[in-house]
Amino acid sequence: MEPGEILSTAAQIAVALAGFAGVVVVFRRESVHDWPPLDKFRLRLLLTNSVLPLILCIIGLVLLGVRPVPSGIWRWCSGVAFCFISPWVITATAVFYRSRLYRLQGAGANFVTYLFRTLGAGITLLQLYNAALLGAFWPFFAGIAFHLISAVLQFARMIVLPPDTRQ
């Protein structure tokens, strides 16, 4: 498959995942504003992990539409990805610790959280490496795929786990 086809498919998946967030909200009894902080944070993760790949796919597709295709297209895309992902990771981590959400989760959920934070940090550094030295498509797409996988898992957690009853 060509990078344009791959990005187009990933964008469609990202849109579907963002729509699944709406499904989660509709099937809950209470309004989003009445949800416990942990459930709000999970919804925020689901939305961000689906919207961020969509934005990155659109940027990649726009740059692929420029003729002639720029030689450093994947360097630029990874640089943009790094600039989008880094502040989001810092903000999400700060909210997670500032609001003490880690105390509301079980040990297994905290393990998953730490695992995905570690993988996310690696993906972020991979974007920086690709922007500075490598210039290949696969690291840029690995960042998109990581966020899509995170969104799928977050959606599954929100469906399978019962709503948090602690306020």
| pLDDT recorded at residue 94 | 77
pTM of the model: 0.85
Q: For the residues of 81-134, what is the DSSP string, one character each?
A: HHHHHHHHHHHHHHHHHHTTGGGTS-HHHHHHHHHHHHHHHHHHHHHHHIIIII
- The residue to which tokens 């498959």 are assigned: 1
- Is the Cβ–Cβ distance between 148 and 85 less than 8 Å? no
- pLDDT at residue 4 above 80? yes
Lookup result for tokens 């659109």: 58
> How high is the pLDDT of residue 167?
47
* Averaged pLDDT score across all residues of the chain: 84
User: Does pLDDT of 103 surpass 80?
Assistant: no
On whether the CB atoms of residues 139 and 133 are closer than 8 A, the answer is no
pLDDT at 166 over 60: no
Which among 54, 57, 96, 93 is positioned nearest to 77, based on CA atoms? Answer: 57
- Which residues, other chains included, contact 78 with Cβ-Cβ below 8 Å and sequence gap of 6+? 126, 127, 128, 130, 131, 139, 140, 143
Cα separation, 33 vs 150, whole angstroms: 24
Lookup: tokens for 41: 């944070």
Contact 17, 50 (CB under 8 A): yes
In the chain, the percentage of residues whose pLDDT exceeds 90 is 44
Lowest mean pLDDT among 3-17, 22-36, 119-133: 22-36
Taking a C-beta distance cutoff of 8 angstroms, is the pair 58, 81 a contact? no
- Top pLDDT among 113 and 86 is at 86
- Identify which of 17-21, 38-42, 94-98 has the greatest average pLDDT: 17-21
How does pLDDT run across 28-78, given as a tens digit for each residue? 777 777 777 777 778 888 888 999 999 999 999 999 999 888 889 999 999
pLDDT at 104 over 60: no
**d(C-alpha 27, C-alpha 24), whole Å:** 6
Return the number of other C-beta atoms located less than 10 Å from residue 11's C-beta.
19
